[in-house]
């Protein structure tokens, strides 16, 4: 029997699911090995028990918590799809204001029964078996993870930092341009895409398992950043530890 796979979305832009759809031919090849029973972007079907659930987006309401727990209850494995599901992603930027302030800024004060809470990653509410990091995810990495799961093997993510990929690709260090970069702290696997395109790393893949934060902080301090400046950089895509639970 083919493994049953479902895709689900919560608060986010759905860019990670679009990345999956853009795989087209590669994904069609894998359809021979699995059965996609839920994927709102392409079908209204709703299945029952799942072998693998890929869940995109942050959790921002009590209704979303209940729905997420229901998905978890019928899924043998649940994977966070993208930064919003994994580390709260860009949604983490709004946690410096109260939910009431945010609702007022977006909808005005006339909104009635709009219930909202600060966004949280999936693991704040359910067990997460693994993750596909990034904003958006990397299609090749998603395929590698999916292929591993389809042969019942747990995929492994890189345990080193983006900074190492930069060196392997012989890219000039972003700090040499006087630009702050989170490459030394951020999990590799993106081939340093943003830096290769002339930008910098903003940490969308989350922190590597054991970041050498002490030496890295000293580098940032040498470039004139305070501890609060450093934390603000990390908060662009990563909810701080005290707010994740």
The CATH number of the domain holding residue 16 is: 3.40.50.700
Range of the domain at 33: 4-151
The pLDDT score that the predictor gives to residue 243 is 54
For the chain, the 3-state helix, strand and coil shares in percent, each to the nearest 5, are 40, 15, 45
103 and 126 in a single domain? The answer is: yes
CA distances from 55 to 42, 71, 93, 174, 213 (A): 15, 9, 21, 33, 30
Q: Which residue has the higher pLDDT, 222 or 172?
A: 172
Q: Of 151, 182, 201, which closes a domain?
A: 151
Does a structural domain hold residue 157? no
- Mean confidence (pLDDT) of the chain: 87
Q: Which of 119, 151, 183 is the last residue of a domain?
A: 151
Residues 167 and 146 grouped into a single domain: no
CA 140 to chain centre: 15
Question: Per the domain annotation, does 129 fall within a domain?
Answer: yes
177 belongs to a structural domain: yes
Residue 42 pLDDT: 64
Q: Which residue has the tokens 């919003």?
A: 84
- Residues 6 or more apart whose CB falls under 8 angstroms from that of 51 comprise 3, 4, 5, 75, 76, 77
Lowest-confidence segment of 9-13, 189-193, 233-237 by average pLDDT: 233-237
| Cα 119 to Cα 244: distance, rounded to the nearest angstrom | 9
Average pLDDT over residues 201-224: 79
User: Would you say residue 136 has pLDDT above 70?
Assistant: yes
Residue 56 has pLDDT above 90, yes or no: yes
> Based on the domain organization, do 31 and 147 belong to the same domain?
yes
Q: For residue range 178-193, what is the model confidence (pLDDT) as tens digits?
A: 888 888 889 999 999 9
Last residue of a domain, one of 123, 151, 179: 151
In a domain, 23, yes or no: yes
- Number of domains within the chain: 2
């Amino acid at each position: 029997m083919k493994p049953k796979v479902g895709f689900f979305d919560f608060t986010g832009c759905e860019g990670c699911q679009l990345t999956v759809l853009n795989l087209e031919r590669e994904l069609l090849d894998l359809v021979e090995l699995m059965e996609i029973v839920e994927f709102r972007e392409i079908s209204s079907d709703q299945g029952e028990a799942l072998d693998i659930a890929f869940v995109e987006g942050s959790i921002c309401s009590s209704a979303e918590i209940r729905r997420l727990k229901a998905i978890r209850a019928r899924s043998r494995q649940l994977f966070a799809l993208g930064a919003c599901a994994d580390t709260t992603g860009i949604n983490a930027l709004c946690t410096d204001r109260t939910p009431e302030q945010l609702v007022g800024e977006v909808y005005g004060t006339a909104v009635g029964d709009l219930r909202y809470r600060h966004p949280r990653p999936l693991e704040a509410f359910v067990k997460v078996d693994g993750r596909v990091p990034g904003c958006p995810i990397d299609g090749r990495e998603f395929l590698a993870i999916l292929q591993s799961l389809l042969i019942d093997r747990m995929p492994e993510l890189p345990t080193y930092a983006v900074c190492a990929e930069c060196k392997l690709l012989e890219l000039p260090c972003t700090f040499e341009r006087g630009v702050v970069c989170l490459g030394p702290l951020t999990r590799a696997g993106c081939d340093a895409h943003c830096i290769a395109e002339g930008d910098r790393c903003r940490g969308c893949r989350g922190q590597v398992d054991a970041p050498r934060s002490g030496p890295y902080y000293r580098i940032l301090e040498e470039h004139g950043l305070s501890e609060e400046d450093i934390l603000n950089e990390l908060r662009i895509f990563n909810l701080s530890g005290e707010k994740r639970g």
